[in-house]
């Protein structure tokens, strides 16, 4: 498989953080978004950010900023579609998405997603982690491998009112790449001020 391009999904409304961009919050001297970029960039051919509003707030990243092409903030799938359209213009066959508020996701995210999807047609996969106490599998709908060839299908689904990621991926029998949990869910994301403090404590300890 040709190396995918990466798209960071930063289009959420951040209501539990009082608005603004969660990815721009400070995490021990760097923005959360910078941590995400630093993890994703080595794994992909190039990176873009999906975000709405003033693209200038991401100018220090020197990355393309892709607004949703479907109005009214229809959720992560709109960001996936924006990424697929951009990837098509770059000649890429797949994208891998990562959330802008999830700074500790696996450094082998992309190869594991590609491996999970290698026998699927279309090659589509979601990441997942397992609860160490209950064994329950938690799929991560903002972390996935997506074929550019499905962009028109996704566009039609969004125009038709589809919003839930897993409903769309399940319709294509998407693969699942399961990542281990070593004390902190690798897909821990920052939604609240309390979680921001937890992330800062974890990052400080890991450093």
Q: Which of 202, 203, 6 is nearest to 99 (CA)?
A: 6
Bond from prior residue into 122 cis (ω within 30 degrees of 0)? yes
* β-strands 125-130, 137-147 pairing: antiparallel
Q: Is 68 annotated as a binding residue?
A: yes
Strands, E assignment, the chain? 5-9, 26-27, 30-31, 47-50, 65-66, 94-99, 125-130, 137-147, 175-179
Report whether 11 belongs to an annotated binding site.
Answer: yes
Structure-block tokens of residue 40: 């994703």
Structure-token match 């709908």, residue found: 141
List the beta bridge partners of residue 144. Answer: 97, 126
On whether 9 is known to bind a ligand per the annotation, the reply is yes
Q: 22 labelled as ligand-binding?
A: yes
Cβ–Cβ contacts within 10 Å for residue 182, how many?
A: 8
What's the CA gap between 112 and 177, in Å, rounded?
Answer: 6
The β-bridge partners of 145 are 96, 125
What sign has the CA pseudo-torsion 197, 24, 63, 10? positive
Annotated binding site for GTP: 9-11, 22, 50, 68, 101
Which residues define the annotated binding site for Mg(2+)? 101
- Which residue ranges are tagged as binding site? 9-11, 22, 50, 68, 101
């Amino acid at each position: 498989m040709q190396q995918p391009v990466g798209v960071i999904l930063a289009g959420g409304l951040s209501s539990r953080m009082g608005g603004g961009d969660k990815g721009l919050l400070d995490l021990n001297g760097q923005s959360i978004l910078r941590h995400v970029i630093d993890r994703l960039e080595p794994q992909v051919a190039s990176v873009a950010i999906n975000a709405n509003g003033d693209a200038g707030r991401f100018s220090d990243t020197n990355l393309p900023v892709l607004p949703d092409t479907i109005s009214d903030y229809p959720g992560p799938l709109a960001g996936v579609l924006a990424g697929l359209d951009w990837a098509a213009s770059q000649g890429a066959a797949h994208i891998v998405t990562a959330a802008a508020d999830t700074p500790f996701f696996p450094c082998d995210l992309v190869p594991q997603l590609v491996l999970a999807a290698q026998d699927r047609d279309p090659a589509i996969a979601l990441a997942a982690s397992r609860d160490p106490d209950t064994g329950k599998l938690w799929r991560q709908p903002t972390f996935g491998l997506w074929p550019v060839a499905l962009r028109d299908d996704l566009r039609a689904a969004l125009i038709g009112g589809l919003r839930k990621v897993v409903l769309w991926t399940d319709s294509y029998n998407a693969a699942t790449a399961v990542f281990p949990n070593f004390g902190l869910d690798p897909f821990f994301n920052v939604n609240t001020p309390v979680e921001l403090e937890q992330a800062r404590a974890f990052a400080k300890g890991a450093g």
